[in-house]
Amino acid sequence: MASTHAHQNLRPIAASGLTSHQLSTTRPVRLYFPPRSFKSRSIAVKTNQNLKWAVRLSLVDQSSPPQSTVDVEWLVGFLYDDLPHLFDDQGIDRTAYDEQVKFRDPITKHDTISGYLFNISMLKMVFRPAFQLHWVKQTGPYEITTRWTMVMKFMPLPWKPELVFTGTSVMGINPETGKFCSHLDLWDSIKNNDYFSLEGFLDVLKQLRIYKTPDLETPKYQILKRTANYEVRRYSPFIVVETNGDKLSGSTGFNDVAGYIFGKNSETEKIPMTTPVFTQAYDNELKKVSIQIVLPQDKDMSSLPDPNQETLDLRKVEGGIAAVLKFSGKPTEDIVREKEKELRTSLIRDGLRPKIGCLLARYNDPGQTWSFIMV
């Protein structure tokens, strides 16, 4: 992936328009939030507004019974420590749960702690989940809500598709035992979270399709929220080599930035290829466009050779938050701008304010790849 030669940050999503970072050939379109950044064939846009997500009540009556001594604050701290072990060898502490636990997500239902733990074991075996806990807070007298991201690989399929779910879990507390007696999962990607949700089932099937990017290093990011239309990601800092481009879907300047990593630099050093190739627009009129290649994470500004061409720059992108829309196929200029508009519309509808500028991230060589294999 590429970026300009200066320090830049990813920024929160503002109103319409692509962000100052690029899209990729897998083609997500992103709109950035906080500082600047990019991603896979996609478009990103920045925004200034804090992200807010609603929660729902648990399956437990929240009226206060007499003489209850439940220490909800202690349970919040307990979940911060316990939930990160949801899918590792240690596992969660089952003694914190009643024997009768009502577990519900859009496609799964259990009513006992044994069924709840069986569901966790099944997910570990089939999907090998990576679970990230974002926050835990009390949302009722006997209710605690958590926000999380879960990334899973469906191992039975040869291409091992990646499934991403983000959402909230509403944990109900039994006021008599002080233990958890319900667990309600709500996914960000669907509207109908009631069991059994056909919408939820189709969301799972949609993510099982063949969708693969090159097995190359790419900027690191964490998915904060995945909706039906876009993802919100937090990017770690990375470095790019960049030069001027002509349009978002164009390849002008690609040979120059590619030449830098192929050895056309002050040390004739060959640098490992990464993905994606970014094209960044800094304004809606495309008066300033850059094409960028991301440099490996083990490189820093002091260890990189200087470019041989004055038109090339090295720049550290400080990272930040971006909204990303994925799409497949050949990224013509009309398609890219339409995807940008679609992403901005979704963000504004959800109360976010994408900033001016965007990135197109292409995971295939912009000038060589046949359009029918661009996925």
- Tell me the per-residue pLDDT of 320-352, one tens digit each, with 9 for 90 and over: 999 999 998 889 999 999 999 999 999 999 999
pLDDT score of 74: 97
Burial class (CB in 10 A: 0-12, 13-18, 19+), 375: middle
Residues 357 and 253 reside in one and the same domain:
yes
Does residue 267 sit in the same domain as residue 169? no
- Cβ pair 348, 9 in contact under 8 A: no
Residues 106 and 150 in one domain: yes
Are 320 and 197 contained in the same domain?
Answer: no
Q: Please write the tens of the pLDDT for every residue from 278-324.
A: 999 999 888 899 999 999 999 999 999 999 999 999 999 999 999 99
Average pLDDT value for the chain: 86
Last residue of a domain, one of 150, 175, 208: 208
Structure tokens at 84: 């990160």
Domain identity same for 76 and 201: yes
> β-pairing, 238-244 with 162-173?
unpaired
Q: pLDDT digit string (tens) for 359-371?
A: 999 987 665 544 4
For residues 180 and 288, membership in a common domain is answered with no
Same domain, 189 and 247: no
Confidence of residue 41 (pLDDT cuts 50, 70, 90): low
State how many domains the chain has: 2
What is the residue range of 123's domain?
72-208
CATH of the domain at 337: 3.20.80.10
Q: Note whether 203 and 276 are same-domain residues.
A: no
Report helix, strand and coil shares of the chain as percent, to nearest 5: 20, 35, 50
DSSP 295: P
